[in-house]
Structure 1
């Protein structure tokens, strides 16, 4: 669970950590529609991602920008609302998504082996994280707090789709919980609709 929480927090800074390269395209600044939302704009030759100011609270913003530039992202714009707009080529964006996918896969692997989630035996998903299946020991699952893992899974799936450029109104993650003994799905949640219903 610790790594899953780290992943969600770290996603906004991943651009400064991803080793990317490529030529820079000239374009106008893309500002976020909401100061608390990530905004992704896919152009013909480049991708612009605006990350809200809240992601960088407590950090030296100039250092964040410098780190991003050191990693190959040549254009980072600080907007008037404190958000940062990262501009990258499509190939850089693809590398970013691969890096994000690696982090999520690592977190899912830990979830399957962690002593914190004793009922979980496997986690599978489709390519874009719009649908995941949790294979569990139903009796252990229902007598534990393992249901909270669904929130982390939902957030990871939503975040991946968001950074992939999917419209936030269309983002949806469906998670099935299946009993490993009977192979029956006994619970299905759909995020973001079911966040308030997660047990």
Structure 2
């Protein structure tokens, strides 16, 4: 199952790229395109169906993606629009979500301890990965590129919620940037709103 979870995180990167391309496309088709980009999760009594849009598989060997999932005991159906529908037991889905969360936590710990982000002193999060609080040395943070950490946290949180069945029209991840010395929040970033705002500025 760990290999399958890794595949999902690779798909997350493709999802980010897909969102960026979509928002630079024809604005008149934005609503329709957004619908096509959604991850659809159907939680039944005994199983979970997860449909991923075709855009998440661009540049990948689709047959290999299907084979990898089937090797994990997961049923896969290729749809006419290029999307893939994964059918798994609730136990498999629960295990997948657990491993996704463990990967997010691992990445958070690595970021906190990395010398590459000297201004970041601590990162905490809530149970459903919808909120992160990043404690920083404010002066050092504002004079660095460490703010990019928020993007990674936001995308991880959004993908976690999507795969967990949160409504694609209502999911969000809030990043609070807090000054460690004063314990005051001086910035707040909300995803996916921040992605839309950035796109509109381009």
**TM-score range with shorter-chain normalisation?**
0.7 to 0.9
In structure 1, the residue corresponding to 2:188 is in which secondary structure?
strand
Q: Which residue in 1 is equivalent to 2:122?
A: 122
Distance 1:12 1:132 in 2: 20
Q: Are 2:39 and 2:168, in contact at CA under 8 Å, matched by a contact in 1? A: no
The residue aligned with 1:35 is: 36
Any residues of structure 2 matched to 1:1-199 within 5 Å, and which? 8-11=9-12, 34-73=35-74, 75-195=75-195, 196=197
Q: Distance in 2 between matches of 1:12 and 1:38?
A: 14
- Tell me, in whole angstroms, the C-alpha distance in 2 between the residues paired with 1:10 and 1:107: 17
1:174–1:189 Cα contact (<8 Å) kept = yes
CA RMSD of aligned residues (A): 2.2
**Cα distance per residue 1:106-158 (max 9 Å; x no partner):** 11111112222111111101000111100111010000111121111111111
> Cα–Cα, structure 1 residues 90 and 125, in superposed 2: closer, same or farther, change >3 Å?
same
TM-score (norm 2): 0.79
SS in 2 for 1:169: coil
Give structure 1 stretches of 5+ with no counterpart: 1-5, 14-32
- Structure 1 residues 185 and 197, CA, compared in 2 at 3 Å: closer, same or farther? farther
CA contact (8 A) 1:7 1:104 kept: no
How far apart, in 1, do the equivalents of 2:12 and 2:154 lie?
15
Count of residue correspondences: 173
Moved over 4 A (4+): 10-13
Q: Provide the rounded CA distance (Å) in 1 between the counterparts of 2:158 and 2:78.
A: 25
1:52-93 per-residue CA deviation (whole Å, 9 max, x = no partner) reads 2222223222222121111111x1000001111000011110
For residues 119 and 61 of structure 2, what CA distance do their matches in structure 1 show? 41
**Structure 1 length-normalised TM:** 0.80
3-state SS of the aligned residue for 2:36? Answer: coil
The worse-fitting range, judged by mean Cα deviation, of 102-111 and 55-64 is 55-64
- Tell me how far apart the structure 1 counterparts of residues 115 and 99 of structure 2 sit (CA, whole Å): 26
Partners in 2 of 1:178 and 1:65 — Cα distance? 43
2:130, 2:173 within 8 Å by CA — same for their partners in 1? yes
Residues 156-196 of structure 1 show CA distances to partners (whole Å, capped at 9, x for unaligned) of: 11111111101011101111111111111111122222233
Q: Which stretches in structure 2 are left out of the alignment for 5+ residues?
A: 1-6, 15-33
